[in-house]
Amino acid sequence: MSKLHPWRPATAVPLAVLLALAAVPFIAQAIGQPFWTSFFARILIYAIAASALNLALGYGGLVSFGHALFMGLGSYAVALPAFHGVDSGWVHLAWCVGACALVALAVGAISLRTSGMSFIMITLAFAQMGYFLFVSLKQYGGDDGLAVSATSRFAGLDLGSTTTLYGAALAVLVLLTWWMARLRVAPFGMALRGARQNARRVQAIGLQPRRVQLAAFVISGVVCGLAGLLLANLNAYASPSTMSWTVSGELIVMVVLGGMGTVFGPLLGALVFLGLEEVLKGWTDHWMAIFGPLIVVMALVGRRGIVGLLEKLAPAARREPRAAAPEAALQQGGA
């Protein structure tokens, strides 16, 4: 496994992006444009959700079309307690983690009995079930959604403040990115990647590939729920539309666009995806006709996404031969 070196473009550019993102609230305040703080906070939140999906999709090869379900659950973990007058962020967080973990465990346990297209359709079906469930809750707004009357408060920090929420989202993303980098060389991460390539060989060395994948799916769902919690505080609103299949599709595009199975891919994918969308919306009303082909072209040019393109910019002298992937080691061990 190749190490992350700060002087290589594939690492230096994302680190520069993170530093630039840290300066956004100060710049926005200096120029009197608070909109940019809200806009880039949305990018950070979707980067967290995309990173969560990357654990299941990029590392585990689990093409989940239902991760929007967990974002929706995280949003309603704020909105529903707030509706009843509870503004404690710790309560919101506990509901978010508990609900997402239980639902992800149930969805993963059932979905992992299948593979391929069946897995995709089952995860999609669960997300649609969640969508229609919350649409049916008329006392909580139904299809119109539910306003967040009391945002999350953590020991004096109110996520209702855009600047505070921005800092929290950035901190979560940095910690998540660091954890994903560590996971690449951790035994759990290597077992997960090995199970993606050859589950039988992983089982032959004494590991249970389905349990490893289920654990990754649950962790992915919980982290995606945290993104939903932050999104509900940013918008002061929770809606069933957050659980729609289009949101899951957008997260998949962000992961593929940035680079599946890479550390910084989800961040770059979310930044380019939402940035291009915002630019094209301001340019033409028919932005979708341009946006779609652009995303397709970018995905075709870089097989490993934006990170793959950045890796090609690394001087040949600085490129290190890649260490054997865990799946290759398993194959050699079984030869």
With bands split at pLDDT 50, 70 and 90, how would you rate the model's confidence at 115?
confident
Question: What is the CB neighbour count within 10 angstroms for residue 113?
Answer: 11
Q: Helix, strand or coil for residue 150?
A: coil
Tokens at residue 270, please? 């979310």
Q: Give the pLDDT score at 6.
A: 60
| Helix, strand, coil tally for the chain in percent (to 5) | 75, 5, 25
Which helix (H) or strand (E) segment holds residue 72: the answer is helix 68-83
Residue-wise pLDDT tens digits, 185-218: 888 988 898 888 877 888 888 788 889 999 999 9
What integer is the mean pLDDT of 222-226? 97
> How many angstroms separate the CA atoms of 13 and 308, rounded?
12
Alpha carbon distances (Å) from 115 to 70, 129, 243, 246: 21, 20, 22, 21
> How many angstroms separate the CA atoms of 175 and 183, rounded?
12
Residue-wise pLDDT tens digits, 244-287: 999 999 999 999 999 888 999 999 999 999 998 888 888 888 87
Strands, E, within 80-133: which ranges? none
> How many angstroms separate the CA atoms of 264 and 42, rounded?
17
Neighbouring-strand partners of residue 157: 154
**CA torsion through residues 227, 298, 36, 9, sign:** positive
CB 16 within 8 A of CB 23: no
With bands split at pLDDT 50, 70 and 90, how would you rate the model's confidence at 3?
low
- Looking at domain 9-313, which of 3.30.530, 2.30.30, 1.10.3470, 2.30.29 is its CATH number? 1.10.3470
pTM: 0.89
Q: What is the DSSP string of 290-302?
A: HHHHHHHHHHHH-
Tokens at residue 170, please? 């950035």
Residue-wise pLDDT tens digits, 137-150: 999 998 999 999 88
How many residues are listed for the chain in this entry? Answer: 335
> How many angstroms separate the CA atoms of 247 and 278, rounded?
16
